[in-house]
Structure 1
Amino acid sequence: MTNLLKTLLLAATLAAAACDRSAPEAEEAAPEAPRNLLYGIDADLYRTQTAEIAPGETLGGILGRQGVTAATVDRLDRAAREEFPLRNIRAGHRYTLFIHEDSLNTPHLDYLAYECNTTDYVVFGFHDDSVSIRRDAKPSTVRRMKKSAVISSSLWGAIMRENLPYALAAELEEIYQWSISFFDIQKGDSFTVVYDERFVDDSVSVGIDRIWGAKFSQGDKHTYAIPFRQGGKIQYWEADGKSLRKQMLKAPLKYSRISSKFSYARLHPVHKVYRPHTGVDFAAPKGTPVHAVADGVVIFKGWGGGGGNTLKIKHANNMQTGYLHLSGFAKGIAQGSRVQQGQLIGYVGSTGTSTGPHLDYRVWKGGKPINPLKIPSEPSEPISEENRALFDYVRDRIVAEIDGEVKPEERITQLDSLTLPAAAGTH
């Protein structure tokens, strides 16, 4: 072998070895993923400024102060009309500017991120002569929570006192609206609820997701709410498998108080004489929505003398309900029209003989007036026999979590396609 050939072979060997050594180094030198992402942008590459939209301020004005030309603002306005019209910008909402500086230290705006609410945002981008619009949401985490409270005045008052999410009040009223009269709860009543709460930035609550179970206690009576899927939808059931949904709602409106109860000898507030008042008065602001307590047919809509604007609905089982002193009727409500349970039918008012806005709610069975607060109401279809074992399995774990503590792996975490574990057995 000639010296030239030996030299060439040695050079090739050294080159191959060098390539083998350089490969890991090249991998190690690969750029790391951005660690300081803000609205999906690598904030380490920019100088950022955060502020709030001032009253009367426009996005065009903000951009103009950052050197964005009027032509570019117009281009952005036209490009954003479908995704997020610029006129939707609202005072008090936060925005963040992403600014880079060139070699002459001249600032240039690359992005403006605007927060639509606590979770959703839109990013406007400026790249030479082009613009871009991107809508997205902040990443969030979900935590399983269990909270209890004792009522001193109202459900809403207890939730505010304990700094619980306000949405819990609406959710609990929705779940228990057939079974518990929240106008008649007493001091000392209590509740425990297990729910998912969603957070952004690990600390800012942005609402609640599923209610995994609840218990409402009134004296020695405990009414559980167990979520379970039957008939293609998730509903809430009592611990014995009866549906919390009843044929009639406990009340036709929310967020009010009882100002006068059912009586055959009530002192009339206007005429100052004792006379029967075979209904319940719910004091509420004018315009408060009124809903049908059950499916039925409107048999009267019109002026009811002292009752003012009045609506009467006929229901199954020879039941009839009346709604008096309405300020107006809901759109589409007419004599002969069918209504569904929970449907909007009118609004609280003070028409007729009335000293202030309220709803006079009345119920008749077989033509005889009965106390609306003591209506016997049959539940909807209960848990079916074929679902009974699976329901019992879900109920036992939900009740155990409400009344005590369970390990995370023993919690019910999904209700879709749920099957009974082989080890669970049947009851």
Structure 2
Amino acid sequence: MRDVRGFVERSSPPKHFCRERLRRALLRGRKAEWVLCRVAGLAATGAAMAVVVAWLMDGAAFSLPPPKLLEEQLSMARGLKDFSESPILQEGELQEEIQEQSKEIVLRKGEGFEDALKKAGLPQSQVKEIVEAVRAVQDLRRLKEGTKFLVSLDDQDNKVMQVEAELDSQCMLLVERSGERLQARKEMKPLEVRQRVVSGTIQGSLFGAMERAGMPASVTLALANIFDYDIDFHTDLRAGDQFQLLLEEKWIGDKRVGYGRILAARFVNKGRTYWAFYFNGKATQEGYFDNQGKSLRKAFLRSPLKFTRITSGFTQARFHPILEVYRPHLGVDYAAPTGTPVRAVADGRVVSAGWDGGFGNCVKIQHGQSYVSMYGHLSRFGAGIRSGTSVRQGQVIGYVGSTGLATGPHLDFRLMKAGQFINPLKVNFINADPVSPADSGVFKQLVAKRVRDLEEGPTIMAARAPAAVKSPQN
């Protein structure tokens, strides 16, 4: 019969009890208990020997104790001697003993959870028990390839006692025995959000500088999106431009599991400093604002593409490479690989999407009463883009191609105002709504704090160190 600790009640001699206790400590990996047992055995042996020596040295103790008592003492001494001389398992042998009581099961590609348990050699009854318990809290079809399950078995009857698995960086699956049943649950690991300052100097491109700082492309794109209305990353970047950003990082324990929002940023481009602060006030729509509270979002994007180069600008006389004549080029050509997404520069309504002579596949979008944007030489159109469709600023309306009169893949982008073509690179568009006066006090406090964070926060450096951050000036 087992007691509440899982031990078997025995009426065996002391030496058998000690050996049993030692064996269980080894199998269960309880090294501290094993050491204490060994020390207790040696101490008991020493104490018995001290009693015998003291008795022999006692002048009054010349008579032997009663035979029955002597026999009991000798039996105990022999048992303690056997215990103290039992072989000590080496570390490797101990690990082998422990490992015999657990199985690590890895989910392979194309393999079901139940099949993986069977291949590990678990009996059908155990497989069924585990699967039913896990299915109660987890969709088995969503278990990922490579997930490791550690199955712990009872050393007496080989019952499944526990199953552990890390489902993802934030979630643990735990299955434990409660009486005669297995019960499963999920435990979410505590997520900590930390702040980090990332700094860099442009040598060739923003992507290159951010990559040197160890930042993924997603963070680079987020930074570019913030300043998308003021800086054209195709034409405006210069070697020596500098940036700093205050970034949220997501951590679980000592492992970084992702990135959050950019809280603040500073970008020095061609000697001019641009600021961005994320703010969500009670009377202000969330977004990014400069140090004066003006929204960084404008009615039009500076460019319909990201991170490409201009091959032809707006001019009244350009030599056409196919027609071999000089003629006006009333737009801007952006060179980019075929399939590069093309964005709508502003909210609007599609007035046409189809073949348009030398422009090939072309989309035209009406923005309010005055403006029309035009996107030529597309390889194909964006999902759902057709005449009459409403689009949002930044929405993909097509993909770069070389249809129509084109010598290679590029985008011919044009902008009209009141029926006349205008140079898209020289248009200044109005900003969205600024920080509400009701939130101005809170916003000023936020700006001061974010500037201090940029100055004092832990920093990841990229390329040459940027100049020290200065407080925003009016």
CA contact (8 A) 1:280 1:372 kept: yes
- Match of 1:399, SS state, is helix
Task: Check 1:349–1:228 CA distance in 2 against 1; reply closer, same or farther (3 A cut).
Answer: same
Give the distance between the partners of 1:349 and 1:82, measured in 2 at CA.
Answer: 51
CA contact (8 A) 2:105 2:116 kept: no
Q: 1:193 aligns with which of 245, 266, 269?
A: 245
The AA in structure 1 aligned to 2:240 is: G
- Match of 1:324, SS state, is strand
Asked if residue 369 in structure 1 is aligned to residue 430 in structure 2, the reply is no
CA contact (8 A) 1:284 1:358 kept: yes
Aligned partner of 1:111 in structure 2 is 163
Q: Describe how 1:10-409 pairs up with structure 2 within 5 A.
A: 53-70=107-124, 84-91=138-145, 93-103=146-156, 106=158, 108=160, 110-116=162-168, 118-123=169-174, 133-184=184-235, 185-202=237-254, 204-230=255-281, 231=283, 233-316=285-368, 318-402=370-454, 404-405=455-456
Task: Check 1:65–1:363 CA distance in 2 against 1; reply closer, same or farther (3 A cut).
Answer: same
Give the distance between the partners of 1:353 and 1:124, measured in 2 at CA.
Answer: 65
- Match of 1:326, SS state, is strand
- Match of 2:440, SS state, is helix
Higher helix share: 2
66-75 vs 348-357, which deviates more?
Answer: 66-75
Give the distance between the partners of 1:81 and 1:288, measured in 2 at CA.
Answer: 43
Among all aligned residue pairs of Structure 1 and Structure 2, give the percentage whose two residues are the same amino acid.
36
- Count of aligned residue pairs for this structure pair: 359
CA contact (8 A) 1:77 1:85 kept: no
367-376 vs 299-308, which deviates more?
Answer: 367-376
231-240 vs 106-115, which deviates more?
Answer: 106-115
Aligned partner of 1:7 in structure 2 is none
The AA in structure 2 aligned to 1:197 is: E
- Match of 1:327, SS state, is strand
**So what's the TM-score if we normalise by structure 1?**
0.73
Give the distance between the partners of 2:450 and 2:439, measured in 1 at CA.
Answer: 16
Report how far residue 382 of structure 1 moved.
1.6
The AA in structure 2 aligned to 1:100 is: L
- RMSD, aligned CA: 3.3
CA contact (8 A) 2:241 2:269 kept: yes
Report how far residue 125 of structure 1 moved.
6.4
Deviation per CA, 1:92-125: give whole Å up to 9, x if none. x342413234226x48473141434x33454566
CA contact (8 A) 1:110 1:127 kept: no
Report how far residue 226 of structure 1 moved.
1.3
Aligned partner of 1:420 in structure 2 is none
- Match of 1:191, SS state, is strand
Task: Check 1:242–1:101 CA distance in 2 against 1; reply closer, same or farther (3 A cut).
Answer: same
Task: Check 1:228–1:64 CA distance in 2 against 1; reply closer, same or farther (3 A cut).
Answer: same
Give the distance between the partners of 2:366 and 2:312, measured in 1 at CA.
Answer: 24
Task: Check 1:278–1:222 CA distance in 2 against 1; reply closer, same or farther (3 A cut).
Answer: same
Larger gyration radius, structure 1 or structure 2: 2
**So what's the TM-score if we normalise by structure 2?**
0.66
Give the distance between the partners of 1:307 and 1:360, measured in 2 at CA.
Answer: 8
Give the distance between the partners of 2:415 and 2:336, measured in 1 at CA.
Answer: 19
Give the distance between the partners of 1:69 and 1:273, measured in 2 at CA.
Answer: 82
- Match of 1:145, SS state, is strand
CA contact (8 A) 1:262 1:371 kept: yes
